């Protein structure tokens, strides 16, 4: 049976109807998940999904001993006619996420103890403890707040200030989960010891009711409390002899034996407001949680004596955190990036320029105004971005100086532009619907759609973009696409077959987005340019194609090709969404931390025992299809058979 799915094309902006197999969603979920990574986690207890479990039970001859119940645990019944004949005396679960309770562990345990297990049951895992550490970090704080932006003009420095409600907003309610081990210690100052905030004993009755837990501490140094770093560990047995910890390297008991994970990472929580702290003073860090979420606050007095302790989890009330994700906040706060746009704008702007800005929630229109442009229009297709920019303009007394047009750019009329012809079309480009680097080629389609509104000699910035690639060896990320060939102590051949099946699905043969600053890798080839897109001209009718062979210049396991876009603002100024500088002598890569790069894993995915050395070349074929906006690609080792 075939089904039709509607999809908004992130590159062309059009709505498409795609014919898919009835199992499409299932396969896509498996193929794009990091499920293989879980199988490599040797000290993790895991429960496969029901259909996989049935196959494993049957193939290994346990059908008469193991019963698979294809239900959520809260729907399981106990009794003569129920799913279970009697209550269990051992509770084995895997209900955790990076935040520990974000997948509903508390209500699930609460229900199990009330309805499914005996009163004095044993639980595996037995206990979990959540830890926290207070830090000051301008880098991480820049993911949550809008900083003042400095613009150097011929009349002196202008400062773009955030609206008051952006400064007071507590931020997005969702946790920021990252590979904390990849944040340099130079990027934060530790203000507290590691504090055990609260523990949960899974062998006893668990409550999903809201609660708070406080820990008294004295700051290790004076500074500004901004961020809480948090993680958890679980003790598998009652004695705590078998432990699984998410601690980052500086808090780990044995950093050399750390288990890499992508399914469980560490948490970054932002305090509602930064607060000054003084070394040696007494403070209280408070962990709040409801049935699904955790958040933190800092108190000057014991929370038991403070009636104003925040019990409700923080929710964004400024709309900026709904429009901009955390990498986008970091990108907008990147002063060096702003300076490069200012440098490029100076070379193309004239006092009588009419500027049209096309991006989502961009502040380029403010830069253009401060640099002396006569008239600036900015297009915002969503009501949220329109409202946010209007607040920013008002805070900077620009509401009468920059015209906001709330509609899709393809629908612009002469009336919207007040009868003026555009002399500069400006974009970052950044669009909230983009997942892969080339999805922002939507700017090119917009440029084509507004061609009639461009005046003679009109300029476009960026003038062009180019697609680049490099072949890499990952330290760890390869595990999410590799069969579990290194698991010890149990037979996982059935799971290997499932993962291989997922890897064969079409989605796994396409590139997928990953923030590579969190995933160290070595370049095995020189980076090379694949395709160029000339924004000074409309989107062509014919496909753009490139193919060739790239030499691998360093020995190693060639896991993937990484792709990214570079935007040529002017011939002299280029911004990269991928590599920011040449690789170091060992091949180490420095990636743009504000963007996700595209990763094309080679098939078959190499396992941890792949031989070092060749193959020494990789062939590629890449095509850009203008009618769909899709980029179709294939990379393969030169000695891989067809």
Q: Which residues are catalytic?
A: 94, 103
Which alpha helices (DSSP H) does 267-376 contain, by range? 320-323, 326-332, 335-348, 364-370
Peptide bond into 462 cis (omega under 30): yes
Q: What are the two backbone dihedrals, phi and then psi, of residue 484, each rounded to the nearest 5 degrees?
A: -80, 75
Distance CA 332, CA 198 (A): 36
**Could you tell me if 250 and 151 are in contact, meaning their C-beta atoms sit under 8 angstroms apart?**
no
Give the number of residues written for the chain.
642
Residue 67 token pair: 């019963």
Distance CA 423, CA 558 (A): 47
Vertex 219 angle, CA 215 and 222, to 5°? 150
**Could you tell me if 388 and 365 are in contact, meaning their C-beta atoms sit under 8 angstroms apart?**
no
Residues forming beta bridges with residue 404, ordered by sequence position: 378
For residue 565, count CB atoms less than 10 angstroms from its CB and return exposed for 0-12, middle for 13-18, buried for 19 or more.
buried
Distance CA 177, CA 184 (A): 16
DSSP strands (E only) in 101-210: 117-124, 127-136, 149-153, 156-160, 176-178, 189-190, 195-201
Helix axes 50-59, 493-504, angle to 10 degrees: 130
Residue 82 token pair: 């129920």
Check residue 106 and give left, alpha or beta (phi > 0: left; psi -120 to 50: alpha): alpha
For residue 552, count CB atoms less than 10 angstroms from its CB and return exposed for 0-12, middle for 13-18, buried for 19 or more.
buried
**Could you tell me if 368 and 349 are in contact, meaning their C-beta atoms sit under 8 angstroms apart?**
yes
Radius of gyration of the chain, Cα coordinates, nearest whole angstrom: 27
User: For residue 288, which of 213, 200, 209 has the smallest C-alpha distance?
Assistant: 213
User: For residue 47, which of 78, 77, 99, 91 has the smallest C-alpha distance?
Assistant: 91
**Could you tell me if 236 and 244 are in contact, meaning their C-beta atoms sit under 8 angstroms apart?**
yes
User: For residue 208, which of 88, 114, 76, 69 has the smallest C-alpha distance?
Assistant: 114
Q: What are the two backbone dihedrals, phi and then psi, of residue 411, each rounded to the nearest 5 degrees?
A: -100, 10
């Amino acid at each position: 049976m075939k089904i039709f799915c509607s999809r908004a094309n992130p590159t062309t902006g059009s709505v498409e109807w795609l014919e898919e197999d009835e199992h499409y969603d299932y396969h896509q979920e498996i193929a794009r998940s990091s499920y293989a990574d879980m199988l490599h986690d040797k000290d993790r207890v895991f429960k496969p999904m029901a259909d996989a479990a049935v196959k494993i039970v049957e193939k290994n001859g346990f059908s008469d001993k193991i019963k698979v119940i294809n239900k959520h645990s809260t729907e399981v019944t106990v009794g003569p006619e129920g799913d279970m004949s009697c209550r269990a005396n051992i509770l084995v679960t895997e209900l955790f996420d990076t935040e520990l309770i974000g997948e509903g562990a508390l209500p699930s345990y609460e229900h199990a103890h009330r309805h499914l297990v005996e009163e004095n049951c044993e639980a595996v895992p037995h206990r979990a403890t959540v830890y926290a550490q207070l830090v000051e970090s301008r880098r991480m704080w820049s993911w949550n707040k809008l900083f003042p932006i400095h613009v150097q003009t011929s009349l002196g420095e202008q400062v773009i200030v955030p609206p008051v409600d952006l400064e007071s907003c507590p931020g997005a309610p969702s946790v920021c989960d990252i590979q904390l081990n990849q944040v340099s210690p130079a990027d934060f100052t530790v203000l507290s010891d590691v504090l055990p905030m609260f523990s949960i004993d899974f062998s006893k009755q668990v409550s999903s009711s809201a609660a708070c837990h406080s820990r008294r501490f004295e700051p290790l140094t004076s500074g500004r409390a901004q961020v809480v770093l948090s993680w958890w560990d679980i003790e598998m047995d009652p004695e705590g002899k078998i432990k699984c910890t998410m601690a980052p390297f500086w808090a780990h008991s044995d950093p050399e034996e750390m288990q890499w994970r992508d399914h469980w990472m560490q948490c970054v929580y932002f305090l509602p407001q930064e607060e000054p702290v003084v070394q040696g003073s007494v403070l209280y860090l408070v962990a709040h949680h409801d049935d699904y979420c955790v958040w933190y606050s800092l108190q000057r007095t014991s929370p038991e004596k403070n009636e104003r302790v925040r019990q409700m989890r923080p929710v964004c009330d400024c709309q900026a955190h709904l429009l901009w994700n955390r990498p986008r906040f970091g990108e907008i706060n990147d002063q060096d990036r702003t300076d490069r746009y200012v440098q490029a704008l100076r070379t193309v702007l004239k006092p009588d320029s009419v500027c049209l800005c096309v991006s989502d929630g961009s502040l380029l229109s403010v830069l253009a105004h401060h640099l002396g442009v006569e008239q600036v229009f900015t297009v915002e297709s969503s009501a949220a971005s329109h409202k946010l920019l209007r607040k920013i303009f008002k805070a900077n007394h620009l509401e009468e100086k920059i015209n906001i047009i709330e509609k899709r750019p393809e629908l612009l009329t002469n009336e919207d532009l007040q009868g003026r012809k555009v002399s500069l079309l400006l974009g970052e480009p950044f669009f909230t619907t983009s997942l892969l680097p080339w999805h922002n080629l939507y700017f090119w389609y917009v440029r084509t759609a507004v061609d009639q509104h461009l005046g003679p000699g009109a300029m476009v910035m960026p003038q062009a973009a180019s697609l680049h690639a490099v072949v890499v060896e990952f330290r760890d990320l390869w595990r999410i696409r590799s069969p579990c060939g290194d698991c010890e102590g149990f037979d996982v051949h059935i799971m290997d077959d499932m993962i291989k099946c997922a890897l064969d699905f079409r989605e796994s043969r396409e590139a997928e987005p990953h923030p590579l600053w969190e995933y160290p890798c070595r370049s095995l080839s020189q980076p090379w340019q694949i395709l160029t897109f000339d924004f000074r001209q409309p989107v062509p009718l014919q496909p753009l194609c490139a193919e060739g062979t790239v030499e691998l210049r360093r020995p190693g396991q060639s896991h993937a090709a990484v792709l990214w876009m570079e935007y040529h603002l002017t011939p002299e100024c280029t911004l990269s969404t991928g590599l920011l500088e040449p690789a170091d002598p060992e091949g180490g890569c420095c990636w743009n931390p504000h963007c996700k790069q595209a990763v094309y894993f080679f098939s078959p995915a190499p396992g941890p025992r792949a031989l070092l050395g060749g193959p020494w070349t990789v062939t590629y074929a890449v095509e850009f299809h203008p009618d769909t906006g899709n980029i179709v690609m294939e990379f393969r080792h030169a000695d891989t058979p067809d």
